[in-house]
Amino acid sequence: MIPRFIPLFLVVAAFLGACTDPAPRGGGDILVMGDSVMAWNGTSDAAIPDGIAEALGRRVVSKAIPGAQFDNDSGIAGAVGFDIRRQFPGGRWNWIVLNGGANDLGSDCGCGACGSVVDGLIGPDAQTGSIPAFVDRLQWETGARILWMGYYKGNGKGSFQGCRNDLVEMEARIARFAQTRPDVFFVDSEDVIDPTEPGMFAADDTHPSPRASKMIGSYLARQIAQAGRSQKP
């Protein structure tokens, strides 16, 4: 679980980390934004975005930062990437891949009574809230296809276990939202991660192992490749 107030050294580390993967001027091919699930194993070039790049042979720029919430306007923390929406560097992109929401539940409601937090991210109508607003903005500004990655089921030992039901509800709404928008796709990493297999998880029993990150990255890459060959119904 991520604390509400982020220590200054983590803010500095996130800022420095974001600066190591600069976006090309004017945009690029594939942009990734999100939280620690997306960024984990990145120091060894084995994060989910690395798996996407390897599988597709395409340039992938990742702005994902551990600890990021989707909706976090807390001053300097939000400004340096702890608000996923503010990870967006601008420019035109072919694809934008993103995830988020778990840290909002962990920080804002302690994985307890989180209905109002989920509703703020995406309402029961699957059309309102900060997630639909941001995705619509991204499409309007960039012309990109959007792929939202759902979280995998935990192994029962890690953080956010109490958030499971709310995350399932949030992502069911995101999937419904995606069905109403051209070129928006929901892809669930749960489809490729077996929660009963220990080798899928890092030592903290929460984040993906390098092998799991590669599997997820390859899975997302297949969805991108398939979408490139056909029009969404």
DSSP reduced 3-state for 30: strand
Given a cut of 90, is residue 96 above it in pLDDT? yes
What pTM did the predictor assign?
A: 0.88
Given a cut of 70, is residue 78 above it in pLDDT? no
pLDDT at 222: 97
Query: Left if phi > 0, otherwise alpha if psi is -120 to 50, otherwise beta: which for 24?
Result: beta
Average pLDDT across the chain, whole number: 89
Pairwise CA distance, residues 85 & 82, whole Å: 9
Given a cut of 90, is residue 137 above it in pLDDT? yes
Tell me what the mean pLDDT of segment 180-196 comes to. Answer: 97
Tell me what the mean pLDDT of segment 31-48 comes to. Answer: 97
- Domain at 8-17+26-228, CATH class: alpha beta
Contacts of residue 133, defined as CB under 8 A and 6 or more positions apart, other chains included, come to none
Q: Which residue has the higher pLDDT, 147 or 8?
A: 147
Given a cut of 70, is residue 1 above it in pLDDT? no
Tell me what the mean pLDDT of segment 12-27 comes to. Answer: 61
Given a cut of 60, is residue 232 above it in pLDDT? no
Rg (CA), the chain: 16
Which of the four pLDDT bands, split at 50, 70 and 90, describes residue 74? low
Tell me what the mean pLDDT of segment 179-194 comes to. Answer: 97
Could you give the percent of the chain with pLDDT greater than 90? 79
> Which of the 8 DSSP states describes residue 98?
E
Tell me what the mean pLDDT of segment 80-90 comes to. Answer: 88
pLDDT at 23: 86
Given a cut of 60, is residue 231 above it in pLDDT? no
- Which of 1-5, 56-60, 111-115, 210-214 is predicted with the least confidence, judged by mean pLDDT? 1-5
Tell me what the mean pLDDT of segment 20-45 comes to. Answer: 91
pLDDT at 22: 79
Q: Which amino acid is at 215?
A: M
The terminus-to-terminus CA distance of the chain in angstroms comes to 38
Summarize pLDDT for 195-216 with one digit per residue, the tens.
Answer: 999 999 999 999 999 999 999 9
Which of the four pLDDT bands, split at 50, 70 and 90, describes residue 75? low
